[in-house]
Amino acid sequence: MEWMSSALIWLSVSFLASLLLLFSWTRATKGSTKQRPPGPPGWPIVGNMFDLGTMPHQTFYKLRAKYGPVLWLKLGLVDTMVIQSAKAAAELFKNHDLPFSDRKVPEALTASGYNKGSLAMARYGPDWRILRRLCSMELLINKRLHESAPIRQKCIDKMVEWIEEDSASSRARGGSGGVELVRFLHIMAFNLVGNLMLSRDLLDMQSESGEVFFESMNMFMQWAGKPNVADFFPFLKWLDPQGIKRNMARHMGRCMKVVAGFVDERVHEKESGREKVKKDFLDALLEYEGDGKEGPTKISKKNMNIIILVIQC
């Protein structure tokens, strides 16, 4: 009898879930479609998800011959417009730039508010404009890039030194002397950006915190790249059926803990009067003062940590 009760419960849950899916699909497809671009008819619930095949870009190219350069698709319950010509793209950005200025943010990248510190993912508005202005004026200007030449050379020299040491250590243990180049390239890239933003290396081959940061960033990027069913069926976001957002939040928390240590250290230096002569991007974030008319008057520590972490990615 117990197994029959369990079976009935699962059948009831499945039935209710199916009704919910059908209801959501009906609401999503309800109403006039006269203002929508043309596109292939979709299946109930899943839309055109399974029509794209393993090479979506080739599928889009084939569909263009039938439906034109502007294509309308349903990916699950998410409306999607595909632009496939320079002329259509120019018209979109010229005449409809503001309505399409926000990007669809994958649910994974909303973990711990990650998207709020990203120029690519943050919603268009005062906070985004402030972040763009800070990056343009304090990080990406030609003067700062030219001044970073010695820093870039230092990071490359240190990477070569680490490779030589690791190769020698491998041969001493009877190995072939081969090394994992990807690891050293990642560390060099992180340290390069770290020097531009924080005036210091972020990772060290012998540092425990550096090892934690490196491993957590790797896992963070892996989870960020996984297809997430919640992105196509928004009513599943609260459930997080694949655990992607939970894992993102865990690994991002470890990375932010390391970054927060750097920020706190700089704050203590400023409070004790031991400021550097040469300012960096973190100083610009700490010293930012808004006018109160647009965006925050100060950038919170949490948002600083996110901004620094986003640029590292």
Considering the domain architecture, whether residues 159 and 288 belong to the same structural domain is answered as: yes
Considering the domain architecture, whether residues 165 and 75 belong to the same structural domain is answered as: no
State the burial class of residue 139 (Cβ atoms within 10 Å of its Cβ: 0-12, 13-18, 19+).
Answer: middle
Q: Show the domain range for 289.
A: 126-312
Tell me if 68 is assigned to some domain. yes
Tell me if 246 is assigned to some domain. yes
Tell me if 210 is assigned to some domain. yes
Total tally of structural domains belonging to the chain: 2
Considering the domain architecture, whether residues 66 and 146 belong to the same structural domain is answered as: no
Tell me if 227 is assigned to some domain. yes
**CB crowding 183-198: b at 16 or more within 10 Å, else e:** bbebbbebbbbbbbbb
Tell me if 281 is assigned to some domain. yes
Q: What is the pLDDT of residue 11?
A: 52
Judge whether 45 and 25 are in contact, CB under 8 Å: yes
Q: What is the pLDDT of residue 293?
A: 73
Tell me if 20 is assigned to some domain. no
Q: Is the pTM of this model over 0.85?
A: no
Domain boundary among 100, 118, 136: 100
Q: What is the pLDDT of residue 19?
A: 53
Q: What is the pLDDT of residue 62?
A: 92
Q: Write out pLDDT tens, residues 230-264.
A: 999 998 999 999 999 999 999 988 888 888 888 88
Considering the domain architecture, whether residues 70 and 188 belong to the same structural domain is answered as: no
Considering the domain architecture, whether residues 72 and 172 belong to the same structural domain is answered as: no
Considering the domain architecture, whether residues 145 and 222 belong to the same structural domain is answered as: yes
Cα 232 to Cα 242: distance, rounded to the nearest angstrom: 13
Q: What is the pLDDT of residue 277?
A: 64
Considering the domain architecture, whether residues 90 and 131 belong to the same structural domain is answered as: no
Q: Give how far Cα 119 sits from Cα of 24, 196, 310, 313, Å.
A: 32, 18, 9, 12
Considering the domain architecture, whether residues 247 and 172 belong to the same structural domain is answered as: yes
Q: Write out pLDDT tens, residues 113-170.
A: 888 888 888 888 888 888 888 888 887 778 777 878 888 898 899 999 989 988 998 8
| Low-confidence spans in the chain with pLDDT less than 70 | 1-34, 205, 275-277, 292, 312-313
Q: What is the pLDDT of residue 308?
A: 84
Tell me if 114 is assigned to some domain. no
